[in-house]
Every structure is written in C-alpha cells, then in structure tokens.
Structure 1
Amino acid sequence: MKNRLILLIICLLGRTLAAQDRTVRLMTYNILNYRNTTSYCTGSNNNSSNKEAALETIIQAIEPDLVVLNEIGSNPNNLTYLLNNSFNTGSTTHWSMAQHTHNGFSSLVNGIAYRNDIFGITNHWSITKDVNNSNLVRLIDVVRFYYKDALLQGNSDTATFVVIAAHFKAGNTASDQSQRERETEAIIDWVDSHSYDNIMLMGDLNTYNSNEDGFQNLVAGNTFRFEDPATSIGNWHNNSSYASLHTQSTRTSGNCHSGGGLDDRFDMILCSESITEGDAQMTYSPNTYIVVGNDGNHFNNAVNSGTNYSVGSSTLSALYTLSDHLPVIADFDLEGQHLDVASTEENWTLPNPIPPGYSINNPDGYELQLYTLGGQLLWKSKDLQATIPYVAPGVYLLWKTTPQGPQTARISIR
C-alpha cells in the first residue's frame, strides 16, 4: 500500500472528539488623559507619543486578548492612534477597537481593544443616564462579545460575554460618592433589563472602600450581584493589608500624575456569579487576578523605588511613564464547541499523495469540512465532485452536513 492513501472513517457513536477550549486574558487600564490636554496635563509632561510607545511595551509584555482603556481624549481619531501606534505594530494586525462612543459633553471616553482573531462583537450599547434620566458624568460602554471558536461554522453555539467599561466619578466627597451611586444604579438597571449570564465590570471605579453605597449596589443587590475575583472586599484606601491590590499611584509626586504612592484600589475587574461558578461556558481562572507592576512591597511608594521584580525593567519603566494607575489583568477559561462522531462507517481509498484536482463523489451536494483534531478548519466544499487538498499524514476530523443533522467522523490517514 505504499502508493495508496487509506482514509478510514471510524464509527464512534456519540463520543466527543474535539473541543476548542481557550484561556483568555482581560485587562483594564486608566491611561491618564491620553491626548487630552488640561491645565496640569500638557504635551510636555504627558506626551502622547511617549505614552503610545509605553503602552506598546506593556501590551507586548502582558499579552492580553482584550483591553479596556479609560481616560482617552474624546476625539474619535484617538482610538485609531492607539490602535496603530500601540497595538497593531510591527507585523501584528489582529487588534481592533470597539466603536467610539461619546455623551456629547465629557472630555474623556473609554476604548475597548480586542483580538479580532479571537473575539467578535454582537452588540454595543451606551449607558448615559441614571435611573431618573439625568446625565451621568461619563458614558458607560456595554459591549457583548462572542468567542470565535474554530468550530463555529459547525455549531452556532459559542461562548459569549458582556464587558461593561466604566470610569466612575473621582473624589471622596459626599457629592462624588452620590454620583458613583447613580452610576452603579444605572449599571444594575441595565443588567436587570437584559438576560445575559457572563457579565464583567471593568475600569476605574474610583471607590475608596467597599462600604460605599455605590459599591454595595454592585455586590450586595437584591436582583444581581457582581463578585470580586480577588475576594478582597474591604477598606482599601491607605490600608497596607491590601497593598498588593492598590492601583494608584505609580509615584509619590507629580504634576499631571497623582502622587502619594500606591495606596488606593481604584481599578478593578468584577464579574457575575455565572463566571465565578463557570455556569455558561466562561470561568474565572483562580489566582490570575493581578495588578501588573505591584509586587506588594511598595505601599505608599513609587513602583520603581528600590527593587521591583514583578515585571521586567522595561515594562516597569513603561508603567511609570504612561500613567499614575497600574493595569489589572485576569484570565478566563472559555469552553469551546465540540465535534461529536456520528454513527456512520465507510472506507475511502485515495491516491497518495493526493494529486491536484482529485475529488470525492458528493452527489447530494452536502457540505464537507476537514478539521485538525485541534479544531482548525482546513477545507470545505459543497461541490458534487469535492476536491480534497493535500494533507500531511495524521488524524483528522471530517464533517458532513445532511438533512438528518451533521455527521462527524475521525479519519486516520496512513
């Protein structure tokens, strides 16, 4: 049989053969008045080109798959600058930005960058009003993503999740806290009016402790509750017990940048119980909630003071340069689709190697698809004479769509 290729379609009824499970990394980061000039943040002490280069260094070091960015100047072109100068650099082309949104009066907007080879967007909403229809300080973005499973064409069911990107009102006065309460009420109201399982709140929440009414709206509501993957509910402000979770400030003094060293947990990733429990194809990966650049030993100090080996030296320098905040990351496991073997059995004998133009008789015009065991689609055809491409020796999955439903078989090539 040296000159023949035997494709043996093995019948294994009901057995799962391939699942495109994947771990993805999500990140949230306040990048401090990016291309937004104020009386204290100018082109000289907050240079946009320097910030873009620093963000490029950070993205390459951390390797996230989705990034929520706060404090971007409201000009729509700023998202393009970030995309071209910090994400899609060198030979990289797989990053996209969610659409630009603006409430019409704020000088700052959010940005959501995502790997377009991993995720797609189904919906993008904006929350601009509180429950009494009054304007919020800043627009809150709500984006529903779906996982681009390699087997998506074979099955319409895939993991989906909602990202709520928010930058709450800053400050510690009663008025500031009241505005944060209105923002969180609006978020919970939106969640209650939509039936989604996997929901994450990401961004600069500007909250000093978990007893604030606004934060209690998020984690102690009657209808829906976010959970803290870090399981560290408490009084975070200037409290060394939470030193490893503090995200501001990267320095002890500054003009554009806030000072005081690391002593506040402003930036967070919160998620629904469905994610912590893994009820709907998405699960938080334990012990992956990390404040990047915070080694837990720089309470009330600058991140680059003394030694800090939590990241490389170039990344640490970029974190210090870019913002007075540190990014937060967390990993999540996505459950992929599966191919189930159908109860059919057949032997095909084909020449080896397959010559150009060789075809399989397919008189009913069923769609044929050839996959690797990892779920990568190699070929598909509905031709009555379906031409098979050359494939290396190994084991593959052959999918055939029929009126009775899809049939999938494991193929041994030898």
Structure 2
Amino acid sequence: MQKIGVVLAMFFYLTSNAQEQATVMSYNVLNFPTGNIEGREDTLRQLINYIEPDLFLMQELKNDSGLQLILNESFSELPANYAASTFLTQQSNPSSNFRLQQAIIYNGDMFGLAQESFVQTQTRDINRFKMYYRGPDLNTGADTVFMYVYVAHLKSSQGTSNQEERLSNAQSFTTNLGFLPQDANVILAGDFNVYESNEPAYQELLDSTNFIRMRDPINSPGDWSSSSFQPKNILTQSTRSSSIFGDGAGGGLDDRFDFILLSDNMMRPWNTVVFEPESYYAMGNTGTCYNQSITDCSGGEWSDEILQGLYYMSDHLPVVMTLNLGVGSVGIANQQEETTALLWVNESLSLDWSKEEAVQITVTDLLGRVWLQAQHTVIRGANTIVLPKVANMKGLMLIRVSSASQQHTLKVVR
C-alpha cells in the first residue's frame, strides 16, 4: 500500500506541473539553396506543414540566403512566430572548397535563443545553441529551463582515415560538453555519416565516461548498412535509388546516417525536459523500401505527395521526435551557467571563448613560480592551445587566462 501511495504521489506531482510538447526535426537539406532542383523551399514547406516542428535543425546550408528562404517561405503557413539563428560562415577547415554549415529555426512562442557559438573541428563546425523554454510560469519568477542544442555534420565516406576524422569530430563535441553544467539538457542532432554502431565516433558520442552521458533514444545498435539489419524503418539515406539532376547520393535507403541524441537526464521521467517514448522516427520510411527510393515505401500514414516531397527535397530523410517540457524539477531549473571556460585535455588547453580577442596565458605552480607567460589570439567559440613549456611540470598547475573582457583560472594536478 505504501508503494502505491508513493507512485500516486509521483504521478500527481508530475501531472500537476504545466506540460507542453515540442516536436524536434533534424534534416540534411542537401546543399540548400544551391542544389540542382529549383523551388525546393516550396517542397520543404509541404513537409514542414505536415510535421510542424518547434525546433528545426538543419545541415548542409550553403549561405544565409538559404536560411532566410526556408524561414520566410517554408515556414510561412504555420501559425507560430518562427525565428532563425544567425548564419555563420564555416570557421573550421577554412581552406576547404566544400563548405557547409548548420543552423536552426525555432518556434519563438515556445523557445528563446540565449546564446550561439560553435565548436571547431577538423572538418566543419559543430554549431551550439543555448535555448530556453518560454513556459507559462516564466514571467512569474519560476526557474528557467535551458537546453543546449548542438547540430553537427561529421566527415563522410568509408575508409580508415574518414573513420578517424569522424572520431576526431566526435571528440571535439564530447570535450565541449565539459564546459556545460553536468546536469545540462543536451541535444546532439545531425548527419553523423556512421555506418555501424561499433564505429569509434558513435562509441565516443555514447561513452558513459563522458562529462555528460549521451543516449540514442531508440537504442538500435548493429551494422546499419547490412542487408540483414532490422528494423529497416530507421534508415535515413538515400531517398533515391540513383542520383537525380547530378546532386546528392543514390543507392536507395540502406544507411542510418542521421541521428538525434539526448543527454541521459532527458530520458528520465522526472527531468524538466523528457523524451516522449516511441516518438522517434525517420519520416516516410515504413521499412518496406530497402535499397529503393522513398517513393517505393508502402503502408503507414505517408501519402504519395509526402513521399515525393521527401524524394525531391534531399537525399536524406528527416529524423523527428517529441519532447515533453516542464515535467519535473530536475535539470537546468536553477539556471546554472557554464561552469568553466577552460579545460585541460590531452596535454592541451581547451578554451571556449565569447569573442575573438588577445589573451594572456600565465601558468604557475603551488609556490607561485611562473612556468609560462604567453600571448595568443583566440577566436569566438572553441580553441585548443598546446603549451609545450609545461610538459615536465608536476604537481598543482594554475592556468590563468585573461583578456580585456574576462579572466578564468583552471587548477590542474599532474
């Protein structure tokens, strides 16, 4: 009887809090807007009208014109007030001739954008957005619920070198998690280009020893590219059996490249932001069109019109899921800020800085002896600085990084 009372108390506590559902949609929009099919913003509008996403997380944007076109045209028929993040030209790998970027469009009636930054990688940026929930109690002094939304596009293609580069991309993300409160609500979405769950990049993203543990909500490990893998309805690429108009990949639906991962706390029913069970799916894929075009899928709720829209819009399928907001009392409810701007990782100093400027780095020991004084210019976002002069330093190391606008100190025991 006592156990029943506890369960009922928990039920009434959770259901007494104001709850709202948010639809999250992650989509590789294929070189938008410079692909070889005109009018794709109209095709995308059809898909957006069907899903009505509150968070739309994009990969393969080419320019700000494409972002504004999607915001103003593809979202034009939805009743909510939508807004977009700032388009930032790719900062990582600046010599690349194939530069792509990520961005988000969000329901401004439900969410606000508190901060934008990026994580620099070997391949391309991982964009980070600090969102807050505009809950019904926000203006009454209630604690603010924050989410950190990362949107990524990892290195493509098979082969050892590409796997290693994807792993490096993933490590840049997991390192950046160390700059957040450990109970942060975190979303990582995008085109990961991994072929199986044993691939090092995927294992790195889900490593239980990371500062914040991430989860795959559908937990379907295996060799996703194998013909024997089940269930096939989670596969996301390619929507086309052969490339059309010389743009995008062919081969039919036989890979799971597109993901939405969540921090472990978002899988817990008492958290402030909670994954809705059974809500995760690859749009349009009923599992009946393996190695075929998405237009060959049959069954399910998807009309021929929607399947054709998916076919012409991109060679990837969108991944969609639902979040319950304002559920419990655990998470970022106390509005913690990032706990540090500095980390010591792999014998290097990792900085997450708010703007491009000159910084002074000073390293001292417990006795106050100065081991290093140096000046560096850092960029806005993630930076990695190697400090070779402290390689032989033992014991407590104090690293102070200061600029005209801020100062941070990190204690490291070696």
- Give TM-score scaled by structure 2 length: 0.70
Distance 1:156 1:174, change over 3 A: same
Q: 1:86 aligns with which of 70, 74, 79?
A: 74
Deviation at 1:170, TM superposition (A): 0.6
Where does residue 225 of structure 1 map in the other structure? 213
Aligned partners of 1:72 and 1:110 also within 8 Å: yes
AA in 1 matched with 2:19: D
Counterpart check, 1:252 vs 2:248: no
Distance across 1 between alignment mates of 2:116 and 2:142:
20
Q: 1:143 aligns with which of 129, 147, 151?
A: 129
- Higher RCO by CA contacts (8 Å cutoff, separation 6 or greater): 1
Counterpart check, 1:288 vs 2:279: yes
Aligned partners of 1:29 and 1:69 also within 8 Å: yes
Counterpart check, 1:124 vs 2:112: no
Aligned partners of 1:69 and 1:203 also within 8 Å: yes
Distance across 2 between alignment mates of 1:176 and 1:103:
20
Q: 2:267 aligns with which of 273, 276, 283?
A: 276
For residues 201-223 of structure 1, give each alpha carbon's deviation from its aligned partner in whole angstroms, at most 9, with x where no partner exists. 10100000111111111112423
Q: 1:319 aligns with which of 286, 294, 310?
A: 310
Counterpart check, 1:77 vs 2:47: no
Distance 1:197 1:278, change over 3 A: farther
Distance across 2 between alignment mates of 1:114 and 1:275:
19
Where does residue 26 of structure 1 map in the other structure? 24
SS at match of 2:167: helix
Deviation at 1:314, TM superposition (A): 1.9
Where does residue 110 of structure 1 map in the other structure? 102
Distance across 2 between alignment mates of 1:179 and 1:112:
25
Deviation at 1:174, TM superposition (A): 1.0
Aligned partners of 1:149 and 1:336 also within 8 Å: no
Distance across 2 between alignment mates of 1:336 and 1:16:
6
SS at match of 1:27: strand
- Deviation >6 Å, runs of 4+: 15-18
AA in 2 matched with 1:294: N
Distance 1:293 1:17, change over 3 A: closer
Distance across 1 between alignment mates of 2:316 and 2:15:
45
Distance across 2 between alignment mates of 1:146 and 1:248:
32
Alignment gaps of 5+ in structure 2: 1-12, 330-414
Greater C-alpha radius of gyration = 1
Aligned partners of 2:58 and 2:190 also within 8 Å: yes
Aligned partners of 1:151 and 1:337 also within 8 Å: no
Where does residue 355 of structure 2 map in the other structure? none
Deviation at 1:312, TM superposition (A): 2.2
Moved more, 181-190 or 278-287: 278-287
For residues 104-123 of structure 1, give each alpha carbon's deviation from its aligned partner in whole angstroms, at most 9, with x where no partner exists. 43521112010000000112
SS at match of 1:211: coil
Distance across 1 between alignment mates of 2:261 and 2:18:
25
Distance across 1 between alignment mates of 2:189 and 2:19:
23
- RMSD (Å) for aligned C-alpha atoms: 2.1
Aligned partners of 1:24 and 1:331 also within 8 Å: yes
Alignment gaps of 5+ in structure 1: 1-14, 130-135, 339-414
Matched positions, count: 307
Distance 1:156 1:337, change over 3 A: farther
AA in 2 matched with 1:235: D
Distance across 2 between alignment mates of 1:309 and 1:244:
11
For residues 29-55 of structure 1, give each alpha carbon's deviation from its aligned partner in whole angstroms, at most 9, with x where no partner exists. 11111123xxxx53xxx22x2x10111
Moved more, 175-184 or 18-27: 18-27
Aligned partners of 1:72 and 1:78 also within 8 Å: yes
Aligned partners of 2:14 and 2:270 also within 8 Å: no
Distance across 2 between alignment mates of 1:225 and 1:337:
20
Counterpart check, 1:100 vs 2:87: yes
SS at match of 1:138: coil
Where does residue 353 of structure 1 map in the other structure? none
Deviation at 1:16, TM superposition (A): 11
Where does residue 412 of structure 2 map in the other structure? none
- Give TM-score scaled by structure 1 length: 0.70
